[in-house]
Amino acid sequence: MRKTDVIIVGAGPAGSWLGFRLAQAGIESVILEKEKFPRYKACGGGLSQKTIEFLPFSFDKIAEPQMAGAWISYGHRQVLVNRFGPAGAMVMRDTFDAFLIERYLSAGGQCFDGQRVSSVEETSDGIRATAGSEIWHGKILVGADGTYSFVRRACAFEPHRDLLFALAAEMKVTDGVRSALGDYACFDLDAIPYGYGWIFPKRNHFSIGVFTSDHRFRLREQLKRFCRSHPLLRGGEIFRMRGSALPVGGYPRLVQRDHVLLVGDAAGMVEPFLGEGIYNALLSADLAADAIIDHLNQNKTLSVYPERLNRMIDANIVRARRLAKVFYGHLPWTFPLLVQNRVIARAFAREVIGKSDFGAFLRYSLKRLPFIPFGYRGGISKREAFSSAFVPSNPDSEEA
Ligand SMILES: Cc1cc2nc3c(=O)[nH]c(=O)nc-3n(C[C@H](O)[C@H](O)[C@H](O)COP(=O)(O)OP(=O)(O)OC[C@H]3O[C@@H](n4cnc5c(N)ncnc54)[C@H](O)[C@@H]3O)c2cc1C
């Protein structure tokens, strides 16, 4: 049997950031990962600016383009939301996750890939986990093993109650089509009800996909429809397609029991308006790291973790869920009010880049709603937008 202080199951962003923080504090840990790294992960690979600023690393070597802003379209009108500073960056998840694991290893951590954790047992002085032919004993075990978390099930945490759905694909496009999108993301609200279709530019191709909160839609059909209807996607060649549920928190639930904690998707941390999960995965891992460090060094209780998580993440998820319900459920009203209005769109962009939160955005928007003219129609058509090759100074485009 091999011994360590903390066993971390899963080498996604939550697991590797948690391990990195522990290693920096001089606490020994091991990450056990079922896949051989680097592994493909179904994901748009969009990192918001707040995610980039959260991590103390330079992403220059692995970032695909830096994001300058986004096109948002509905009813064949497109609005360009930019001019709020850098919006984020694009990555491929195999490279990004491998990069984070490298940082953890350089800080003194140990990671074993190709090792699926298949059993977890409490002992009198901690917890035991079996991965392949190895048995590990630790004082604490952390489930960072994603949406379908084994640790969540094995340690009798309740199943996720609130799920969103997304299907991601990679698409080869011609150089001309790739350069027409430039360094902008596209969010298309016509692509699927109660969600959006996305086009994220990568160095030589597009990551595309559909995201919805409504389980009744067949995502493959919706993605095909999106590819047929969007001028940038017609004629592109899909070379990979994979989907997953995205677990959302924001309701009372256990994320820590005795010596077991859940972080990231295993705990249900996805923000329900955009479906962004990496930022909250990192933030939850950070809060878990603080709790574990204080527990092991000063014998403080681990229950501070759920308390802080509730205050710092779940409260924002609750507001984002409310906004998502209103926004996606009433697009004929909410698109002109919230997207085609440059002041409100800029306020929303501030949330995405991490300069405010959903609470601040909602308060700000509600105060201004009475002054927003109904029937206002800014923006340009998709065809115009892409043939003008995204020149932001186009006088018809609504720049926030
Ligand atoms: C289609 C799609 C698109 C998305 N796009 C974006 C986006 O653009 N931006 C964004 O911020 N978020 C996006 N998300 C959400 C984001 O991918 C997740 O929120 C994020 O990956 C969560 O990180 P994590 O570390 O908690 O889990 P994961 O990244 O899922 O990592 C969990 C790890 O645990 C491993 N594992 C699982 N079971 C075991 C086991 N029994 N033993 C050992 N290892 C195990 C897995 O192999 C995996 O490597 C998207 C999600 C989907 C499905």
- Mind listing the pLDDT tens digit for each residue in 156-183? 999 999 999 999 999 999 998 998 898 9
- Looking from the CA of residue 245, the nearest atom of ligand 1 is 53
In this predicted model, what pLDDT tens digit does every residue of 334-349 receive, in sequence order?
Answer: 888 888 877 787 777 7
**Pocket flag, ligand 1, residue 46 (CB < 6 Å):** yes
- Looking from the CA of residue 267, the nearest atom of ligand 1 is 26
How far does residue 41's CA lie from ligand 1's centre (Å)? Answer: 7
The amino acid occupying position 16 is S
In this predicted model, what pLDDT tens digit does every residue of 81-132 receive, in sequence order?
Answer: 876 677 889 999 999 999 999 999 999 999 999 999 999 999 999 999 999 8
Q: Is 376 left (phi over 0), alpha (psi -120 to 50) or beta?
A: beta
The topology under which CATH files domain 163-247 is D-Amino Acid Oxidase; Chain A, domain 2 (3.30.9)
Superfamily of domain covering 2-45+92-159+253-319: FAD/NAD(P)-binding domain (3.50.50.60)
Locate CATH 3.30.9.10 in the chain. Answer: 163-247
Of 295, 289, 265, 319, the C-alpha closest to 126 is: 295
Give the per-residue pLDDT at 80. Answer: 84
Over residues 191-206, mean pLDDT: 95
Locate CATH 3.50.50.60 in the chain. Answer: 2-45+92-159+253-319
- Separation of alpha carbons 335 and 115, rounded Å: 47
Choosing from 142, 246, 261, 313 the residue with most ligand 1 atoms within 8 A of its CB, the one to mutate for a pocket test is: 246
Choosing from 199, 265, 274 the residue with most ligand 1 atoms within 8 A of its CB, the one to mutate for a pocket test is: 265
